[in-house]
Amino acid sequence: MGERVIPLTDWRRGAAMARPAAPIAATGLLADARGRPLRDLRISVTDRCNFRCSYCMPKEVFDNRHAFLPHSALLSFEEITRLARLFTAHGVRKLRLTGGEPLLRKNVEDLVAMLSGLRAPDGEELDLTLTTNGSLLRRKAAALKAAGLRRVTVSLDALDDAIFQRMNDVGFPVADVLAGIDAALAAGLGPVKVNMVVKRGVNDHEIVPMASHFRDRYGCAAVLRFIEFMDVGATNGWRMDDVVPSSQVLGRLQQAWPLHALESAAPGETAQRWGYDDGRGEIGLISSVTQAFCHDCNRARLSTEGQLFLCLFASQGHDLRSLLRGGATDADITTAIAQVWGGREDRYSELRGSAAAPQAGERRVEMHYIGG
Ligand code: SAM
């Protein structure tokens, strides 16, 4: 394969943020230009990962010549916690730690402990969760729970070892991820959500075996979610032909078991829920490509180095780290967040393929950098 040149600066350069003049106070009701509230903050704690999934961090691009962020560029735990507190005042009720692989960040359980001390203005606890590839979960589950983590989402793309090892591209075995899921459940981090990215011709024949395994072994304690392969970033060689639409995933499952649609558990939820008629739990369908759910997207993303992104498919973030490190007050940062979210118009998935979609040349941010 020819060498691919990735212009990293495009997606790591955030829009500079001036210190705002007129303060905007947090009311807990911040809404964007389309009336969408801010409820969910995803925080990427590292841009590093020990897997090289071809749909996310392909090995030929993210090899030993790739320059990951230096430690000094990363937000510290204190900086992350300060921002999370200010976002909470604006209405955020859910924090998800992600990456990269979040369990690679040294002492991440200390960050969990700091975040678990935050409360909504009405005193409510926040929903504190983490998405992981599961590789370090067996070792870390108990400490994460003790630090205050509520739940985990674990990514697993196949039960067949050869397929999974080919997909993670580092030869990581299925059994170790399953052991991580067991450890998470034993530690009280359930129900565990399990994310399977489906790629046509790669792992789509694993749809029914995966569903069978999780319903038989875990019942309601695990929720398997099928994710359409998405055109995030610019390195994964995405083609529509590789996407298995959720409608087809559902069709294959319904040939094996009767299922019924369930109400969504929370506004802005990414997955459509389906329950097994026999009560053995449920599955989720995340259809960002074929059934965009931008209309109620309430998620903001904080990159590893403190850029605020308004959409998974954005090409530019807003630099909060320079405010943090430039002596901005809480009121300054609160105002900056309000201005950025208040101007949010993003709805990439709804526009995908249309003339109004962002044009090629605007290079989209990579998912491991802003977090999944
Ligand atoms: N390392 C962690 C993990 O594996 O879960 C967290 C980061 S990962 C970027 C978050 C989620 O994004 C994973 O479930 C992963 O499968 C999913 N993901 C990454 N690239 C994707 C793509 N192109 N399409 C759909 N999902 C993707």
At position 227, the amino acid (one-letter code) is I
Q: Measured between alpha carbons, how far is 57 from 168 in angstroms, rounded to an integer?
A: 9
DSSP, res 73: G
327 CA from centroid of ligand 1 (Å): 34
Q: Which of 140, 153, 172, 195 to mutate to test the pocket of ligand 1 (most atoms within 8 A of CB)?
A: 195
Q: Give yes or no for a contact between 309 and 319, defined as CB atoms under 8 angstroms apart.
A: no
From the CA of 232, give the closest atom in ligand 1: 23
Tokens of 108: 């991440």
Residue nearest atom 22 of ligand 1, based on CA coordinates? 230
Residue nearest atom 8 of ligand 1, based on CA coordinates? 372
Residue 318's Cα: distance from chain center in Å?
Answer: 18
Is the Cβ atom of 224 under 6 angstroms away from ligand 1? no
Q: Measured between alpha carbons, how far is 87 from 94 in angstroms, rounded to an integer?
A: 10
99 CA from centroid of ligand 1 (Å): 9
SS3 state of residue 160: coil
SS3 state of residue 364: coil
CA dihedral 36, 87, 366, 270 (to 10 degrees): -40
| Per-residue b or e along 173-198, where b marks 16 or more CB atoms closer than 10 Å to that residue's CB | ebeebbbbbbbbbebebbbbbbbbbb
From the CA of 56, give the closest atom in ligand 1: 20
Is the Cβ atom of 250 under 6 angstroms away from ligand 1? no
SS3 state of residue 102: helix
From the CA of 157, give the closest atom in ligand 1: 16
DSSP string, 249-302: HHHHHHHHS-EEE---SSTT-SSEEEEETTSS-EEEEE-TTTS--GGG--EEEE
Is the Cβ atom of 227 under 6 angstroms away from ligand 1? yes
Q: Give yes or no for a contact between 32 and 344, defined as CB atoms under 8 angstroms apart.
A: yes
At position 274, the amino acid (one-letter code) is W
Residue nearest atom 2 of ligand 1, based on CA coordinates? 132
Is residue 218 within a helix (H) or strand (E), and if so which, with residue range? helix 207-218
β-sheet bridge partners, residue 275: 260, 282
Is residue 162 within a helix (H) or strand (E), and if so which, with residue range? helix 161-168
Q: For tokens 């609160």, name the residue.
A: 334
Q: Measured between alpha carbons, how far is 116 from 142 in angstroms, rounded to an integer?
A: 15
Q: Measured between alpha carbons, how far is 167 from 179 in angstroms, rounded to an integer?
A: 19
From the CA of 231, give the closest atom in ligand 1: 23
pLDDT tens, per residue, the chain with 372 residues: 334 444 444 556 677 777 667 999 999 999 999 999 999 999 999 999 999 999 999 999 999 999 999 999 999 999 999 999 999 999 999 999 999 999 999 999 999 999 999 999 999 999 999 999 999 999 999 999 999 999 999 999 999 999 999 999 999 999 999 999 999 999 999 999 999 999 999 999 999 999 999 999 999 999 999 999 998 888 899 999 999 999 999 999 999 999 999 999 888 899 999 999 999 999 999 999 999 889 999 999 999 999 999 999 998 999 999 999 999 999 999 999 999 999 999 998 888 877 777 665 567 888 888 877
